[in-house]
Amino acid sequence: MKSYKILTVCLGNICRSPAAQGILEHIAAQNELFLEIDSAGTAAYHVGNPPDSRSIKTLQRAGIDISQQKARQVTSADFNKFDWILAMDRANLANLKKIQPENNRAKLVMFGEFNRQSAFGEVADPYYGGDEGFETMRLHLNEISEAFVHYLQTKTED
C-alpha cells in the first residue's frame, strides 16, 4: 500500500491542525496505514509554541498525546514536500492558495470535505470558546480522519 505525506493546516497551528495531526496519526496506526503527518498554520502567531492546553487535554482524554508538537508556519516548500495539504476552513484554504506555487505536487483541499456531516467542509475554530468547543472539534476531526483514512485505503489512482 502507498504511503502519503500529509500536512494539516489551520490559522495558528495550536488548536485544530495539531489535533488533526494527532488524530490522523492515531487512526492511521489503527488501520495499519503509513502516513507521515505534520501540521502548520497560515499565520506566524504561535511559532515554536506547543498546542493550546485545551487541545492537549482533550486529546489526552482520548488517549492521544500531542504535547510534543511545536507550531510552525506553512512555507511554499511544503507544497512540494507533501502529497496532501488539508485546510481546516475556507479562510485558510484561500490563504494557502495565495502562496501555492504553480506545478506543485500537493493536493490542496478542505479536510472536512471527506465527511458529509461537515458544515461547508469547515472545522470550527474552538480557540475563543470554552472546553466544550474542543471536545466538539475532537469528535469532528475524528469523523473526518476516519473518512480520510478510508478514502486513502480505497484510493486506486495516484
| Structural domains of the chain, with CATH | 4-154 (3.40.50.2300)
Which residue among 15, 16, 38, 89 is the active-site one?
Answer: 16
For range 26-43, the mean pLDDT: 97
| Catalytic residue flag (residue 72) | no
Q: What is the pTM of this model?
A: 0.95
155 pLDDT tier (thresholds 50, 70, 90)? confident
- For the chain, first and last CA: distance in Å? 12
List, for residues 107-140, the tens digit of each pLDDT value: 999 999 998 766 567 999 999 999 999 999 999 9
* Radius of gyration for the alpha carbons in the chain, expressed in angstroms and rounded: 14
| Catalytic residue flag (residue 16) | yes
Alpha helices in the chain, H assignment, sequence order = 16-30, 53-61, 78-81, 90-99, 131-154
pLDDT at 125: 96
Residue pair 66/21 in contact (Cβ under 8 Å)? The answer is yes
Closest CA to 92 of 108, 69, 103, 116: 108
| Catalytic residue flag (residue 15) | no
Which residue among 38, 52, 78, 125 is the active-site one?
Answer: 125
